[in-house]
Amino acid sequence: MKTTIWSEGIHPGRLPEAQLAENFGDLHPPLDAHEAMVAADRCYFCYDAPCVTACPTAIDIPLFIRQISTGTPEAAARTIFEQNIFGGMCARVCPTETLCEESCVRETAEGRPVEIGRLQRYATDTLMAANAHPFSRAASTGKRVAVVGAGPAGLSCAHRLAMLGHEVALFDAAAKPGGLNEYGIATYKTPNGFARAEVDWLMGIGGIELQTSETVDASRLSQLRETYDAVFLGIGLGHVNALTLGDIERPGVEDAVAFIARLRQSDPSSVEIGRDVIVVGGGMTAVDAAVQAKRLGALNVTLAYRGPRDRMKASRYEQDLAAQDGVNLLTDVAPVELHGSPLEAVSFAQPTGDIVTIPADQLLLAIGQVLAPIEAPALEDGRIAIGETGRTSMGHVWAGGDCTNRGENLTVTAVAQGRDAAMDIHASLMEHANG
Amino acid sequence: MADLSTNFVGIKSPNPFWLASAPPTDKEYNVRRAFDAGWGGVVWKTLGLDPHVVNVNGPRYGVIHGADRRVLGINNIELITDRPLDVNLREIKQVVRDYPDRAMVVSLMVPCEEEPWKMILPLVEDTGAHGVELNFGCPHGMSERGMGSAVGQVPEYIEMVTRWVKQNTRMPVIVKLTPNITDVRKPAEAAKRGGADAVSLINTINSITSVDLDLFAPEPTIDGKGAHGGYCGPAVKPIALNMVAEIARDPELAGLPISGIGGITTWRDAAEFMALGAGSVQVCTAAMTYGFKIVQEMVSGLSQYLDERGMVMDDLIGRAVPNVTDWKHLNLNYVTKARIDQDLCIKCGRCYAACEDTSHQAIAMNPGRVFEVKDDECVACNLCLDVCPVENCITMEELAPGTVDPRTGKVVEAERADWTTHPHNPNAVAAE
């Protein structure tokens, strides 16, 4: 019998292929040239613009928008990439509604900000479509730096170091570079292999040697410290939190992170999904998992969060996206018991103590990620402690991105930290070289 | 509904909105559509002698765009009508017969000799048209042949031709003036001396709208070359308003009827021309941009404006003229300061950038992006208000007489005083 949205159990192909293709296509279609001109014209070119302050990478937004409006999107892209080499990905995945666009004075004035994210995409897409790398390397410094982790932080750091003339060895434990850009972001936010294409484009700077499927443990790290002039750790958060409900392992229960990664690496029509899906969590990963479960054809998707709605880490925009896609948002509920194996239902406790049981053949857990155990620099709050420019407690070792104790866990924050660490590494290496 | 019916030098129309002599009034088909849409009158596109002129076969318009490709200005290199004289005359006659309540003015341009004028005027009269407009303004093509603005730039020619025309027709004569001169009052005075019943202005302004940076040629480009054209549309309105006002307030020209032309796009633009003395207005670019239907907004808007103020058309026409004066008569004791409404302010900082970089450093940027005017520096230049994107967020507040202007440390005087009496003026006369 053909699988449909009504079929019980966990199956692939609940929706026709055409529907799946539409569901996992671009969430925000790109602006065309005229739309970009109209959108760009709304920018007031503010003095000391609040949007720039709100951007973790401090992109000169009014300048790049003005460059778009005068018919030079390539120059606009350069303005963006000078601050943020992942300007293309950030244009797609940044929670702009809580960053640049939230601070836009037109948001204040009219509740409708300049579409900074989409304009950024217009500019970066234009330049990247020409397949041109906008920067060239400085003369070789003869210095060698090891970058561990080829996610946004590591790649940003590697790119900036390469640009400054250093030789970079880039290691990643996964089979492909990109980190969460490649494995962790919802498919509809970055379709058509964009993450991979972006890494290839970024590597066009030259001077970066990538080694994938290369795990760096404590002994390898000390080796790297001896072999290289500096080391940057951008290793992300390798482990997911577990529910403390005893033995929950059974068919139907999975980490949302693994689910999202599987979906990103597959054709959606081959990805299995339940009829009644529950996602536990309240962050972006939870929303991404819930929305994608719905878009794969799950009949009922419930996003269950233990706190009130305003404490959810997912932005209001993301919450609304989930609601609009038909995800049920349940707040102030904590999972207390799993029923059946394979999974049949999950019981939740309400603040009143009342128990409610919801049928479920699939449970996706998105209750946070933690740093994988590493015998390395000193930690703070379970993450690598860094200073403003990414210095760790270990000499010649810098870190950035989700694995550190600073900043929000956002792509754009990781990019900023990678870049700033690279600048500090450069200053440090050149100071030693000159001294 | 206010009564908008107009009697301009004996030419009657149900409203003061006429289509200017231009492509929209080139033939019967368009003019019928215009009258059906509600236009009060037309000035038929300029007639000339046969053999009729030819136009270029490449682009004849260039454009200046604002945001979202909004048309701010158009220039053109089109000549006068390129259809045979008898065809135009026959069509005019038909339209006059079928739309008896609308104004039909015929624009004319023939060489600077009396004979051709003597020949063409009776033909126009025969159509039943209500008046003629002498095209002394067209700045491109025709001017190379000694007509259009080539006449309009020489007051003696204007006077001579106007006189010929007045001597050879019973129809009211409107002289259309070119803005491509230094003092518009001179050609207007010449027209008056020649016996003109009215002047209309402005015709288009010599212009190159843009340069193609691939072809290195002016636009519109014809086979790699371009010639200057005549500029019109919203961008020229300020120039036109000034020229209309210069004529309206000139003692020698007082009472000379004016048909206002130049970038009129909305009822409000029209009302501004009328307040500066225009008894009728002529529109072209707005119709070419949006079609004939815009006249309905013009009619409803002007009517509402007059009704809301309990005014009739005659109350409006010329009402602002007494307030157009010379700089030397402006009251130097009128002191204002910029005021920023913090509730309306969206904190863009444009006022700060403008003032700090290019004016008088009179706006402070305080913590939290709070922008405040420094009264001891503010000269009330108005730039902050002009660049502020929020309407009424920045206003100018008058300092009451008796208060001290913190910038000058002087008490604001109640009596007005201007440059004519200022001690720095070597030609100052003693104040009474």
Q: What digits encode the pLDDT tens for the residues B229-266?
A: 999 999 999 999 999 999 999 999 999 999 999 999 99
Which B positions 348-377 lie with beta carbon below 8 A of chain A?
348-350, 352-353, 365, 369
For residue A108, give the chain B residue with the closest CA: B346
Residues A205, A278: one domain?
no
Comparing A153-167, A420-434, B17-31, B180-194, the range with the smallest average pLDDT is A420-434
The verdict on a CB contact (< 8 Å) between B350 and A106 is: no
Q: Given CB atoms, is B70 within the 8 Å cutoff of chain A?
A: no
Check CB contact under 8 Å for A48 and B365.
Answer: yes
B388 catalytic? Reply is: no
What domains, with CATH codes, occur in chain B? 6-323 (3.20.20.70), 327-421 (3.30.70.20)
Domain extent at residue A303: 240-369
Are residues A428 and A402 part of one domain?
A: yes
Which tokens go with B36? 């059906």
Average pLDDT value for chain B = 96
> Which residues in chain B (331-350) have CB-CB distances under 8 A to chain A?
346-350
* Chain A residue nearest residue B347, CA to CA: A105
Of B244, B286, B230, nearest in space to B263 by CA:
B286
CB-based contact B346 A109, cutoff 8 Å: yes
The pLDDT profile of chain A, 435 residues, written as one tens digit per residue, is 789 999 999 999 999 999 999 999 988 889 999 999 999 999 999 999 999 999 999 999 999 999 999 999 999 999 999 999 999 999 999 999 999 999 999 999 999 999 999 999 999 999 999 888 999 999 999 999 999 999 999 999 999 999 999 999 999 999 999 999 999 999 889 888 999 999 999 999 999 999 999 999 989 999 999 999 999 999 999 888 888 888 889 999 999 999 999 999 999 999 999 999 999 999 999 999 999 999 999 999 999 999 999 999 998 899 999 999 999 999 999 999 999 999 999 999 999 999 999 999 999 999 988 898 777 799 999 999 999 999 999 999 999 999 999 999 999 999 999 999 999 999 999 987 665
Total Cβ atoms within 10 A of residue A378: 11
* Nearest-CA distance A47 → chain B (Å): 5
Residues A174 and A208 in one domain: yes
Q: In terms of domains, do A319 and A306 share one? A: yes
pLDDT for B78 equals 95
Helix (H) or strand (E) holding A336: strand A334-339
Residue A1 covered by a domain = no
- Pair (A269, A247) in one structural domain: yes
Please give the pLDDT value at position A9.
92
**Alpha carbon A372 to its chain's center:** 18
Backbone CA torsion sign across A69, A75, A80, A85: positive
Tell me which residue in A38, A45, A47 faces B352 most closely, judged by beta carbons.
Answer: A47
Domain membership flag for residue A316: yes
Chosen from A32, A34, A46 to mutate, greatest number of chain B CBs within 10 A: A46
A25 within some domain: no
Strands across the sheet containing B205-207:
B61-65, B71-76, B229-232, B205-207
Question: How many angstroms from the chain centroid is the CA of residue A83?
Answer: 18
Residues of A with CB under 8 A from a CB of B: 34, 37-38, 41, 44-50, 105-106, 108-109
Compute the CA torsion angle B11, B14, B16, B21 (nearest 10 deg).
-60
Contacts of A48 in chain B (CB under 8 A): 349, 365, 369
Which of B342, B347, B388 should be substituted to probe chain A, the one whose Cβ sees the most A Cβ atoms within 10 Å? B347
**Which residues in chain B have Cβ-Cβ distances shorter than 8 Å to A51?**
none
- What's the pTM value of the predicted model, to 2 decimals? 0.89
Active-site entry in B112, B138, B351, B388: B138
- For position A155, what pLDDT does the model report? 98
Number of domains within chain A: 3
- The verdict on residue A134 lying in a domain is no
CB contacts of B353 in chain A (<8 Å) are 47
- Closest by alpha carbon to B428, among B287, B350, B351, B332? B332
Q: Where does the pLDDT of residue B137 fall: very low under 50, low under 70, confident under 90, or very high at 90 and above?
A: confident
Q: CA neighbours within 13 Å on the CB side: how many for A59?
A: 34
Residues A261, A362: one domain? yes
Q: Which residues pair with A370 in a beta bridge?
A: A239
> Angle CA(B86)–CA(B92)–CA(B95) in degrees, nearest 5?
145
Test mutation, A45, A63, A105, A107, chain B, max B CBs within 10 A: A105
For range B196-217, the mean pLDDT = 97
A233: in domain: yes
Contact (CB<8Å) B347/A50? yes
Out of B348, B365, B369, the one facing A44 most closely (by C-beta) is: B348
Domain boundary, last residue among A351, A369, A387: A369
Q: What is the pLDDT of residue A434?
A: 63
Q: Give me the pLDDT at residue B142, please.
A: 87
CB-CB neighbors (< 8 A) of B389 in chain A: 44, 109
Q: Is residue A135 part of a domain?
A: no
Are residues A271 and A360 located together in one domain of the fold? Answer: yes
The CATH number of residue A94's host domain is 1.10.1060.10
**What percent helix, strand, coil does chain B show, rounded to 5?**
35, 20, 45
Band of residue B431 on the pLDDT scale cut at 50, 70, 90:
low
Residues A106 and A41 in one domain: yes
pLDDT higher than 70, residue B430: no
Domain of A263, CATH number, reads: 3.50.50.60
Asked whether residue A246 falls in the same domain as residue A361, the answer is yes
Complex-level ipTM: 0.84
pLDDT of residue B340: 98
Nearest C-alpha in A relative to B393: A109
Q: What angle do CA A145, A151, A157 make, to 5 degrees?
A: 35
Cβ contacts (< 8 Å) between A41 and chain B: which residues? 67-68
H-state helical runs in A114-255 = 116-129, 152-163, 180-183, 194-202, 218-227
With beta carbons under 8 A apart, name residues in chain A contacting B67: 37-38, 41
- Position B139 scores a pLDDT of 86
Judge whether A361 and A369 are in contact, CB under 8 Å: no
Residues A40 and A148 in one domain: no
* Distance (Å, whole) CA A263 – CA A223: 36
When CB atoms are compared, the residue of B68, B69, B349 closest to A47 is: B349
Dist. CA A45–CA A62, nearest whole Å:
5
Peptide bond into B202 cis (omega under 30): yes
pLDDT in tens, B49-94: 999 999 999 999 999 999 889 999 999 999 999 999 999 999 999 9
Nearest chain A residue to B387 by CA distance is A44
Whether residues A199 and A178 fall in one domain: yes
Q: Which residue in the set A34, A37, A105 is minimally distant from B348, CB to CB? A: A105
Confidence band, pLDDT 50/70/90 cuts, at residue B110 = very high
pLDDT of residue B57: 94
Count Cβ–Cβ pairs < 8 Å, chain A vs chain B: 37
A18 belongs to a structural domain? no
Distances (CA, A) of A178 to A156, A191, A285, A370, B400: 11, 14, 17, 19, 67
Beta bridge partners of A82: none
Residue A82 falls in which region: left (phi positive, over 0), alpha (psi -120 to 50) or beta: alpha
Q: Please give the residue that has the higher pLDDT: either B10 or A433.
A: B10
Nearest Cβ partner for B349 among A34, A48, A108: A48
**In three state form, how does the secondary structure of chain B look?**
CCCCCEEECCEEECCCEEECCCHHHCCHHHHHHHHHHCCCEEEEEEECCCCCCCCCCCCCEEEEECHHHCEEEEEECCCCCCCCHHHHHHHHHHHHHHCCCCEEEEEECCCCCHHHHHHHHHHHHHHCCCEEEEECCCCCCHHHHCCCHHHHCCHHHHHHHHHHHHHHCCCCEEEECCCCCCCCHHHHHHHHHCCCCEEEECCCEEECCEEECCCCEEECCECCECCCEEEECHHHHHHHHHHHHHHHCCCCCCCCCEEEECCCCCHHHHHHHHHCCEEEEEECHHHHHHCCCHHHHHHHHHHHHHHHHCCCHHHHCCCCHHHCCCHHHCCCCCCEEEEECCCCCCCCCHHHHHHHHHCCCCEEEECCCEEEECCCCCCCCCHHHHHCCCCCCEEEEECCCCCEECCCCEECCCCCCCHHHCCCCCCCCCCC
Q: Which of A129, A157, A172 delimits the end of a domain?
A: A129
| Assigned domain for A73 exists | yes
Out of A41, A47, A50, name the one closest to residue B350 (CB). A47
Q: At what angle do helices A194-202 and A116-129 cross, to 10 degrees?
A: 60
Asked if A352 and A267 sit in the same domain, the reply is yes
